[in-house]
Amino acid sequence: MIKHNGIVPLSIFIILQTNLLYANPFAYITDFTNNQVYVVDTATNTQIKAIDVAGGPAGVAATHDGTRVYVTCRNDDTVKYIDTTTNTVIGSISITTGDPSNIAITPNDTTAYVVVSGPAGVIPIDIATSTAGAIISAPALFFFQDIAITSDGTMAYITAFRLAITPTFRLYPMAIPANTLGTFISVPVGTVPSESFLDITPNNSFAYISNSASGTVIPVNLGTATAAAEVATGSAVAREIRVAPNGNTVYVAVQVPDGMVPLDISATPSTPSVSPLVSAGTDSFGIDITPTGSFAYVTNFSSSNMTPFNLASALAPSPGANITLTTSSGGTASPFLLTIISLPNITGTVKKNVFLNFTECILTITWTASTSSNIVSYNIYRGDTLIGNVLATNPSCFRTLFQCGVTYSVAAVNSSGTEGTRMPVEIV
């Protein structure tokens, strides 16, 4: 109870409050054929924008704080980045070595690693300064394909193939931030793929690699650095692959026939059991899973759409209605790869106390803390006026007198003093 002039008054205590609102996850889908990136609201399963991205956008990854999406552009050798609050391209980074493809971002949002093939290797990008570093070269005659980073951010793993001399397939570990390649893991396959994708379990114990050439998935025990036998998916071509957030299931997009195949890794991760294919559109290619693990989304290159899958039954997902995708000019889309982000939850709750003729409105702003260890504080704004700063070590909460008709926003600040995108507060 608040005292006024030393007296505890009679009061009417009115709380204007609802449950905290969580921002809906959004899917960002590349289309290198039409130079587009499509944005889909997964709460309504509708396309909300087509962003013009020149240069043939292909690979895509989002920062873990949800504020930026990075897209590799293979035709002009750049990496472009999108502000997720405005869904506009706000910068471009030249990759002088050429032909950037897949991309992964460290959990602390400090570095993006881009696979390149001209010459072959991986290029690190400093996210704070938007500058490309020196190439980490692939071994002689090898080409890198896909890259994934462990949840603790200390290691990356890169698939690599060689067709010259003796066709060979490998998985290379790379220490972060030293960016040094370790001893490779031999991955025996019936047919060496010219394209592969991989993902890592949340506990960093296993990697799972899709082999496009044979429609198989290869489990790799990262603790023992050994690859298990290929697992047939029942489809001729295996594309992008994702491990569910709970670490119990692997989902792989497949072609011929097209759709998604679940693999149960909960009991025997080296020998997963394969569930029946669940059909999607035509030429299923990209896949990602919402942060809660509730839904998966699969892009269908030739049918110009994306299929949502309800994962309530993990091994028998239920497909929803296909989401039609169109270019910014209303043309036919060719969706390729995708990433799903969840925008930070920033909610303002107003509490109104009435004490006789004295009225006070308090705004409590609550937000989801960044997963990045590089974030040191948060700036709070009323309009364009800085009204407070909260250290990252404190609770993600701020209170102030509320003013109607004024916007509020929160921005993360990193250890270099650089402020991130201001995220609007939704008043409830």
pLDDT digits (tens, 9 = 90+) for 15-40: 222 222 334 689 999 999 999 999 99
pTM here is 0.81
Listed residue (369, 390, 386) closest to 378, CA to CA: 390
Domain count, the chain: 2
Regarding whether 338 and 366 lie in a shared domain, the answer is: no
Q: What is the CA radius of gyration of the chain?
A: 24
- Note whether 60 and 69 are within 8 A (CB): yes
Specify the CATH number for the domain of residue 29. Answer: 2.130.10.10
Same domain, 324 and 253: yes
Residues 255 and 287 in one domain: yes
Considering the domain architecture, whether residues 231 and 366 belong to the same structural domain is answered as no
Among residues 316, 342, 368, which one ends one of the domains? 342
- Give the tokens for residue 241: 């692959």
Give the CATH number, domain containing residue 411: 2.60.40.10
Report the share of the chain in percent with pLDDT over 70: 91
Is residue 261 domain-shared with residue 287, that is, in the same domain? yes
pLDDT recorded at residue 5: 32
Query: How would DSSP label each residue in 307-346?
Result: EEEE-SSTTS-EE---EE-B-TTS-B-----EEEEE---E
Boundary-marking domain end, from 281, 308, 342: 342
Rounded CA-CA distance 104/24 in Å is 22
Statement to judge: residues 306 and 391 lie in one domain: no
Shared domain check, 331 and 362:
no
b/e map of 392-420 (b: 16 or more CB within 10 Å)? Answer: beeebebebebeeeeebbbbbbbeeeeeb
Q: pLDDT class for 405, splitting at 50, 70, 90?
A: confident
User: In whole angstroms, what is the distance from residue 62 CA to residue 341 CA?
Assistant: 7
Range of the domain at 161: 25-342
Query: Which tens digit of pLDDT belongs to each residue from 265-315?
Result: 999 999 999 999 999 999 999 999 998 899 999 999 999 999 999 999 999
So what's the pLDDT on residue 411?
85
262 occurs within a structural domain: yes
Instruction: Supply the pLDDT for residue 421.
Output: 65
Do both 367 and 331 map to the same domain? no
Q: Peptide bond before 257: cis, by omega within 30 degrees of 0? A: yes
pLDDT in tens, 224-277: 999 999 999 999 999 999 999 999 999 999 999 999 999 999 999 999 999 999
Is 7 within a domain? no
Residues 125 and 264 in one domain: yes
* 178 lies in the same domain as 205: yes
- On whether both 141 and 164 belong to a single domain, the answer is yes
342, 360, 382 - which closes a domain:
342
Q: Bridge-partner residues for 34, per DSSP?
A: none
